[in-house]
Amino acid sequence: MKILIGVLLALLAGLGWTAWQLRESWAREGEIMSVLQQTQGALAVATKQNENLVGRFDAFDRSLQRLDAQQAQRQADLTGRLNTIRDIVAEPGDSDASISCLDVRVPAQLDRSLR
């Protein structure tokens, strides 16, 4: 009988120790799940911010491409106009003053009205 009581006490002690470790494991699992949920929330926020940044960078890239195309078009237009001005030659009836004025700046309002 003493042996049976000893074995029973050993089994109870083992069961108690196992239950205590199980409770500790559940507590650690709860902490880990809490950290996991916080991390998943932070990941969702970071993903949304990343999507916003990607969209903004795409819009910025399109704007830069449009500006580059406009600048190239304006540069080509300016080059053509400068070549036209450089190609002006004196015609019969032109005075020296009319040809020498090509290097003089024209007021913006007059320039707009002449176009």
The fraction of the chain above a pLDDT of 90, given in percent, is: 58
| Burial environment of residue 70 by CB neighbours within 10 A (0 to 12, 13 to 18, 19 or more) | exposed
**Distance between CA atoms of 88 and 39, rounded to whole angstroms?**
72
| Residues in the chain where the model's pLDDT stays below 50 | none
Ordered by start, the domain boundaries in the chain are 2-85
pLDDT at residue 114, as a whole number = 67
